Amino acid sequence: MNRNVVLLLVLLIVVGGGLAIGYLTRPGEWYAQLAKPSFTPPGWVFGPVWTILYVMIAIAGARIFVSDPHGSSVWFWWGQLALNFVWSPVFFSAHKIGMALVVIVVLLAVVLALILLLWRRDRVTAWLLVPYAFWVGFASVLNASIFALN
């Protein structure tokens, strides 16, 4: 399949899926009532940050699908995406802060494993995922802090 077609499809899945889940699981009154740590970013930060990260995740995914369509990195990529998409419904819809913490910690582990898996073979793709790993690490600390405070 053409690289551009792969990129377009992956962008649609990742950005479209991320935006849809974000829309369907918007933080509401329940989240507003939670005690949050002082380092919680303002709400408007999350949309732009996730949009940029989703584009980078999609580019990384397209590169993986083209360069190694049957390798283990494809499975790790799909795994991180599934965990990413599951976190918001668990946290914002089900109100399961502890379960969401488990999901996000596993997500961070999968993202880090994917970066390590890619590091020798495709450093550009690995670097595309580094900001994502940092953000998920920060989000893990934020989730843990909200869990501890509530």
User: What pLDDT was estimated at residue 7?
Assistant: 92
Domain boundaries in the chain?
A: 3-149
What pLDDT does residue 1 have? 73
What is the value of pTM for the model shown? 0.94
Q: Is the dihedral of CA 3, 51, 99, 101 positive or negative?
A: positive
What residues of the chain score a pLDDT lower than 70?
none
Q: What is the pLDDT of residues 97-136, one digit of tens each?
A: 999 999 999 999 999 999 999 999 999 999 999 999 999 9
> Which pLDDT does position 69 carry in this prediction?
87
Tokens of 1: 């399949």
Q: Considering the domain 3-149, what is its CATH architecture?
A: Up-down Bundle (1.20)
Q: Please state, in angstroms and rounded to a whole number, the distance separating the CA atoms of residues 88 and 26.
A: 8
Q: Are 40 and 139 in contact (CB under 8 A)?
A: no
Please tell me the predicted confidence (pLDDT) of residue 10: 96
